[in-house]
Amino acid sequence: MKMYYDKDVDNDALAGKTIAVMGYGSQGRAQSRNLADSGCNVIIGLREGGKSWQIAKDDGMTVKTFDEAAKEADIIHILLPDEIQADVYEKHIKPYVETGNTLACSHGYNVHFDLIEPPEDVNVIMYAPKGPGSMVRETYLQGFGIPGLVAVEQDATGDALQIALGMAKACGFTKAGVIETTFKEETETDLFGEQAVLCGGLTELINAGFQTLVEAGYQPEIAYFETCHEVKLIVDIIYKKGFAGMWKDVSNTAEYGGLTKGPQVITDEAKEGMKKVLSDIQDGTFKDDFAAENATDAANLKEMRAASQKLDIEIVGTRLRKACGLQDDDE
């Protein structure tokens, strides 16, 4: 493992360069403000009149259309949703990419799956924070940063890695440390983590536990506390101390029960399911499925999203969070 910190960064790597951040969502807003506050020359590329246009202006950022920003920039940092990046690149960025420019991103999806195919005479880099945009900004303002990843897909100018590290440093990531990776590794592990564990796997596990208790006759409010609410408490311990630290902090009853019964839930069959998820990511099946979904204006996703909001655990959870002061009434 190769890890980089502030001391490893060439402080002149970004000197004289104009950075165009394409997009002003959670990551775009956080990263561009960090870059600007670190002294970088930053412009924001957006669809004129879009919902983010005025927000960026109110934040004091220089805002231009995608085309104008791409034409002016030396470094084009694409922080748009995965499903629209290729279209925006083809129509608004590609015509203005010049020899020696740098194309940057924080997720390798479009480059790895050849949805964006940059010319050979430009740098293609990635620096990716391992956390949401809110944390990117919050930790920067606290004088620190969150860990991240850095990768170089193409090094046309000979200093692509230092450019990537320079941007990571300007966002605060090298204070915590960034690990060198590849576009392939970042993309495939990121998708797998989301699908099998962090988003897909975790919510299915929580909901299955909740349903099991309710179907057995226990109060749904008690079931919610035991299978959902306390997840954060356990994850916070694991985040700080690892599995061993968590086992040390919980009771002997919880430790023995967890170590002996956990494998009955996450069985070999579940692991085979995870392997299938990973295989579908690696061979492009998921990429094709996601493209087909977006071709229908995400009709299936919208249906699943609506259905998930009607789950019993969501209804109970919303009521409990408000009753306990954990959620605002307007959320």
Structure tokens belonging to residue 271: 């692991």
- CB 112, CB 182: distance < 8 Å: no
The count of other CB atoms within 10 Å of the CB of residue 245 is: 12
DSSP string, 148-198: EEEEEEE-SSS-HHHHHHHHHHHTTHHHH-EEE--HHHHHHHHHHIIIIII
Edge-first strand order for the sheet with 102-105 is 3-4, 178-180, 148-154, 123-129, 102-105, 75-78, 18-22, 41-46, 62-65
**293 backbone dihedrals φ, ψ, rounded to 5°:** -60, -45
77 is catalytic: no
Structure tokens belonging to residue 195: 């699908």
Q: Please pick, among 77, 92, 107, 112, the residue that the annotation labels catalytic.
A: 107
DSSP string, 210-277: HHHHHHTT--HHHHHIIIIIHHHHHHHHHHHHHHHHHHHHS-HHHHHHHHHHHHHHS-HHHHHHHHHH
Cα angle 31, 88, 132; round to 5: 25
Task: State the catalytic residues.
Answer: 107
